[in-house]
C-alpha cells in the first residue's frame, strides 16, 4: 500500500515537473501591475471558495490523474497563493504570443529543465499545418495552453460580437488541434472588459494578467539584461506570475532565467495545480 501510494505520488510529481509553458505581451507598461480599475473589478468577484478538494488523488486510477489544487490566484497582484501546505517559494512561467517563431525552441529549453509553464497562443499563429504541428508538439511535451485571442486585438476597442470571435475562435482552433480547449486566458495588453471576463468564465477559463515582465522594454531586449532583471526584479515575490514572450532574446535568456530563479530557491508552479483549472 505504502509503496503504491509512493509510486503514484512520484508519478504525479514527475507529471508536474514535466508540465511547462510560456507567453508574450503588452507593449506599454513595463514590469508589473494591471490597471487599478481592473484590480477593483476583480475584488468584487471574490470567488466562492468552492473547490478545496482534498484527498482525491490517491483514489484515482493512474491514467486519470486528478490534480489537487495547490495554488490560488490572487487577483490583486496576479500572483499565486499556496493552498494548505503547498510550497510558497514558487513562480509561474508564462509565454505569450505563441506559437510564433521561438515557442518550440523555448518549450524544448523548458522541457530540458523540467520547468512547467503556460504558452498563451494567438489564433493567427495557428493557421498552417506547420503551425498546428508546433502547437501539438508543445502540448505533447506537457505544456499548458492558454488563449491569448485570435488577432492580439485590444478587447476594449471591440464590440461584444468581435470580442466573442477573438476568444472563441482560439478556443475552437486549439481544441481542434490538441483535443481540448484552453483552460487559461490572458488578454492582450491585459485589457479586459466586463463582457470578455464573463465570457472567459463561462468558457471555463481562468483569467490572468501578470505580476511582472520586461521583454518588451527595449533595454531588456538582450538575453543577459533580460535574465538579470527577470531573476532580480523588485517585483519578484512568492507566487509571482512571470510574463515572457515568443521572442529571440527571451528564448536566449530562458535557461538563465529558470536557473537563476531556482538558484534563489524558487520552483515553478505546475499550471494544472491552479485552483479553478484542476478537475473538480
Ligand atoms: Zn501578447
CA of 151 to the centre of ligand 1 (A): 10
CA of 182 to the centre of ligand 1 (A): 16
Q: Which residues lie below 8 Å from residue 266, measured CB to CB, with a gap of 6+?
A: 89, 90, 91, 236
CA of 154 to the centre of ligand 1 (A): 10
pTM: 0.78
- At 34 the three-state DSSP class reads coil
Q: What is the CATH number of domain 77-273?
A: 3.20.20.370
Q: What is the DSSP letter of 54?
A: -
pLDDT in tens, the chain (280 residues): 444 444 444 444 444 433 333 333 444 444 564 444 444 444 444 444 444 444 545 554 544 456 689 999 999 999 999 999 999 999 999 999 999 999 999 999 999 999 999 999 999 999 999 999 999 999 999 999 999 999 999 999 999 999 999 999 999 999 999 999 999 999 999 999 999 999 999 999 999 999 999 999 999 999 999 999 999 999 999 999 999 999 999 999 999 999 999 999 999 999 999 998 865 4
The ranges assigned to domains in the chain are 77-273
Neighbours of ion ligand 1 (CB under 5 A): 24-25, 96-97, 188
Could you tell me the three cell numbers for 198?
464573463
Single out the residue of 248, 190, 149 nearest to residue 32, CA to CA.
190
> Between vectors from CA 83 to CA 82 and to CA 86, what angle results, nearest 5°?
60
Cα separation, 71 vs 79, in Å, equals 9
Q: What is the DSSP letter of 220?
A: G
CA of 187 to the centre of ligand 1 (A): 7
Amino acid at each position: 500500500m505504502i509503496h503504491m501510494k509512493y509510486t503514484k505520488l512520484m508519478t504525479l510529481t514527475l507529471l508536474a515537473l514535466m508540465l511547462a509553458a510560456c507567453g508574450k505581451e503588452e507593449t506599454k507598461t513595463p514590469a508589473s501591475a494591471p490597471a487599478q480599475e481592473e484590480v477593483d473589478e476583480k475584488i468584487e468577484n471574490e470567488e466562492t471558495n468552492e473547490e478545496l478538494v482534498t484527498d482525491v488523488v490517491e483514489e484515482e486510477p493512474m491514467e486519470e490523474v486528478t490534480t489537487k489544487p495547490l495554488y490560488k490566484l490572487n487577483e490583486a497582484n496576479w500572483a499565486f497563493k499556496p493552498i494548505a501546505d503547498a510550497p510558497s517559494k514558487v513562480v509561474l512561467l508564462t509565454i505569450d504570443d505563441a506559437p510564433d517563431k521561438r515557442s518550440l525552441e523555448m518549450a524544448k529549453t523548458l522541457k530540458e529543465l523540467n520547468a512547467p509553464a503556460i504558452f498563451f497562443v494567438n489564433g493567427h499563429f495557428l493557421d498552417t499545418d506547420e503551425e498546428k504541428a508546433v502547437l501539438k508538439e508543445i502540448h505533447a511535451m506537457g505544456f499548458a495552453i492558454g488563449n491569448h485571442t485570435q488577432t492580439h486585438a485590444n478587447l476594449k476597442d471591440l464590440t461584444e460580437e468581435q470580442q466573442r470571435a477573438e476568444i472563441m475562435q482560439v478556443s475552437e482552433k486549439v481544441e481542434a488541434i490538441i483535443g481540448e480547449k484552453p483552460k487559461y486566458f490572458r488578454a492582450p495588453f491585459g485589457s479586459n472588459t466586463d463582457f470578455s471576463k464573463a465570457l472567459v468564465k463561462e468558457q471555463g477559463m481562468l483569467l490572468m494578467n501578470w505580476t511582472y515582465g520586461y521583454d518588451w522594454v527595449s533595454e531588456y531586449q538582450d538575453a543577459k539584461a533580460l535574465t538579470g532583471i527577470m531573476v532580480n526584479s523588485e517585483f519578484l515575490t512568492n507566487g509571482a506570475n512571470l510574463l515572457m514572450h515568443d521572442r529571440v532574446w527571451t528564448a536566449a535568456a530562458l535557461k538563465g532565467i529558470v536557473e537563476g530563479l531556482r538558484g534563489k530557491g524558487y520552483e515553478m508552479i505546475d499550471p494544472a495545480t491552479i485552483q479553478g483549472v484542476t478537475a473538480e
